[in-house]
Amino acid sequence: MNHNFHLESRIQKIGREVLLLDAGEDNPRNSEGAFLELKDGRILFVYTRFFGDSWSDFASAALVAITSDNKGETWSEGRIVLKKHPEDTNIMSVSLLRMKNGDIGLFFLRKTPNYNCLPCMMRSFDEGETWTEPKLCLPDHGYYVTNNDRVVRLSNGRLILPANLHVRNENGEPTDVATAHFFLSDDDGETWREAQTHLELPYAHTWSGLQESGVVELRDGTVQGWARTGLGRQYLFASHDGGETWSAPEPSWYFTSAWAPMSIKRLLDGRLMAVLNPIPEYTGQEQYQSWGRTPLACLLSSDDGKTYDQTFLLEDDPNHGFCYTAILPLADRVLLAYCCNGSGEVPLCSTKIKVVMMEELA
């Protein structure tokens, strides 16, 4: 995939929808989340439910949990995990991680007055029934964005939390221009420190910078990172010392991309799966209906990221958007959850869960 994406019939469409968390009255948006396997075999999914009449990233919201006891085929009713603090504006963008002592770690963004956006963490000792008080993972000021399903554990036990710091304008408001930062924990999330280097795009002037970064560990121990840009491609960078230092960002040959995030995880068969919005040659879509985030494609690599030699189509509606994907690899299937339009008029105000069977990825 080293050129614009072709919407051709030979590209197989995969997956089936099992749940639509659709927006509705007094629930203007259901936003991106993350999966985790529980010890009893159930699957936990936590997402952000918005309340009131605003779908803005700064509107009232709570974190909500649902579970499945049949590998994602059906789901329970939602249960509120955390409400935003009365003085804050919003909470969203969940990551879930199994901790070394067996706890569940839940990471999310806390948006406070004066345009601060701060990754936080809380723990559950009882498989998500109750949670500790949240605590900050980063400094207590700045507009740091960590996407959903982004916090990872390396093979040596270290945790990496990628966070993109947005530059403020003269009024103190965050702009689109961002730099990529990486926060590390060697004590299973008790304390965090920033990596030795952070990254900027190698241009004197850019309207996007590096946004919505993610990382995945390769078999040789290299940590591969990526970030969305407004330049038509994801930009890639790498660390050979566990996230301490990073190479300069370079445009990806494989990942042409709308101004939208990408997600990468390793499947249980060893392949890497990338999910993103490649740039189509032409779809005729109305940008205001999709925000340019269509089609949604799945790329597979069998050589640890050197090449991505299989491409599948997840969504291709030209008038709807799809992005902010969470990935849960299982033995016989992959669960995907991503934002979509649903039945609403505003793009990305609902969340869909889709099952992709492994035989579809052959």
Q: What is the DSSP string of 169-212?
A: -TTS-EEEEEEEEEEEESSTTSS-EE-S--B--SSS--SSBSEE
Residue 361 — very low, low, confident or very high, per pLDDT cuts 50/70/90?
Answer: very high
* The token pair that represents 210 in the structure block: 């590096």
Determine how many CB atoms are found less than 10 A away from the CB of residue 85. Answer: 11
What pLDDT score does 283 carry? 45
Taking the CA atoms of residue 128, residue 132, residue 190 and residue 272 in that order, the dihedral angle to the nearest 10 degrees is 30
Residue 250 has pLDDT above 90, yes or no: yes
289 vs 232: which has the higher pLDDT: 232
3-state helix, strand, coil in the chain (%, to 5): 0, 50, 50
Of the candidates 337, 358, 230, 333, the one whose C-alpha atom is nearest the C-alpha of residue 275 is 337
What pLDDT score does 194 carry? 97
The answer to whether residues 296 and 338 touch, using CB atoms and an 8 Å cutoff, is yes
Distance CA 121, CA 146 (A): 12
Residue 10 — very low, low, confident or very high, per pLDDT cuts 50/70/90?
Answer: low
Which pTM value belongs to this model?
0.95
What pLDDT score does 319 carry? 85
Maximal C-alpha separation, the chain:
53
Distance CA 103, CA 359 (A): 33
Q: Which amino acid is at 47?
A: Y
Sorted by sequence, the CB contacts under 8 Å of residue 125 that are 6+ apart come out as: 103, 132
Distance CA 18, CA 32 (A): 16
Lowest mean per-residue pLDDT among 202-206, 217-221, 357-361: 202-206
Distance CA 336, CA 359 (A): 16
What pLDDT score does 2 carry? 42
* The token pair that represents 46 in the structure block: 């936590």
Of the candidates 171, 55, 46, the one whose C-alpha atom is nearest the C-alpha of residue 115 is 171
Identify the helix (H) or strand (E) that includes residue 118. Answer: strand 116-124
Q: Which amino acid is at 34?
A: A
What pLDDT score does 140 carry? 84
The answer to whether residues 139 and 163 touch, using CB atoms and an 8 Å cutoff, is no
Mean pLDDT on 71-76? 98
What pLDDT score does 202 carry? 74
Distance CA 273, CA 301 (A): 7
Identify the helix (H) or strand (E) that includes residue 362. Answer: none
**Please, how many CA atoms are within 13 Å of residue 21, restricted to the half-sphere of its CB?**
31
Of the candidates 68, 53, 188, the one whose C-alpha atom is nearest the C-alpha of residue 128 is 68
6 vs 104: which has the higher pLDDT: 104
CB-count burial class (<10 Å; 0-12, 13-18, 19+) for 50: buried
Mean pLDDT on 296-301? 97
CA distances from 182 to 39, 165, 198, 306 (A): 30, 10, 7, 23
What pLDDT score does 175 carry? 92
What pLDDT score does 7 carry? 52
The answer to whether residues 238 and 247 touch, using CB atoms and an 8 Å cutoff, is yes
Quote the percentage of the chain above a pLDDT of 70. Answer: 94
Distance CA 243, CA 226 (A): 13
Q: What is the mean pLDDT of the chain?
A: 93
Sorted by sequence, the CB contacts under 8 Å of residue 126 that are 6+ apart come out as: none
Cα 127 to its chain centre, rounded Å, is 22
List, for residues 116-175, the tens digit of each pLDDT value.
999 999 999 999 999 999 999 988 899 999 999 999 999 999 999 999 999 999 998 999
Three-class DSSP category at 264: strand
Pairing verdict, β 144-145 and 116-124: unpaired
Angle at 111 between CA 178 and CA 50, to 5 degrees: 115
